[in-house]
Amino acid sequence: MKSETSLIAPCGMNCGICMAHLREKNVCPGCRGDDTNKKVTRVRCIIRNCETIKNSKSGFCFECDKYPCLRLKQMDKRYRTKYKMSMLENLDSIRKIGLSAFCKNEKIRWRCEKCGGVICVHRAICSSCGEKVT
């Protein structure tokens, strides 16, 4: 089983709450995982493949001189608008409290109140019981 910390992408996305990771078939292993079941857009992701991030101590965008870059700002705006989640807030939280504490908070934040399953950020439903979250 993959550790929760390895499911946090360089951009701050929690891949553990992504619909591609939560689906039953061809499960995406997350941005830091093997490329086998990933869409080509994830494999070619400019943020994921950024040399500055790859060579940084933490492996996260906040260490880059260009943080936050235009691409990250655009993705953050899209996620704030569509999914009520912010990559920039996630990255700031990781920087302030550390990756382990961030993952503990995420586990609580994205837990279904009905069954304890994981809520999908993209569909706003529990991946276990199908409960719709508002």
Average pLDDT over residues 97-115: 96
Average pLDDT of the residues of the chain: 91
Task: Count the neighbouring beta carbons within 10 Å of the beta carbon of residue 21.
Answer: 21
| Cα–Cα dist 40/99, whole Å | 27
The confidence score (pLDDT) of residue 3 equals: 67
Q: How far apart are the first and last CA of the chain?
A: 30
Average pLDDT for residues 62-77, to the nearest whole number? 94
Strand, helix or coil at 126? strand
Q: CA 122 from chain center: how many Å?
A: 11
The pLDDT score that the predictor gives to residue 2 is 55
CA 79 from chain center: how many Å?
11
Task: Give the burial class of 84: count Cβ atoms within 10 A of its Cβ; 0-12 exposed, 13-18 middle, 19 or more buried.
Answer: exposed
Instruction: Give the mean pLDDT of 12-40.
Output: 88
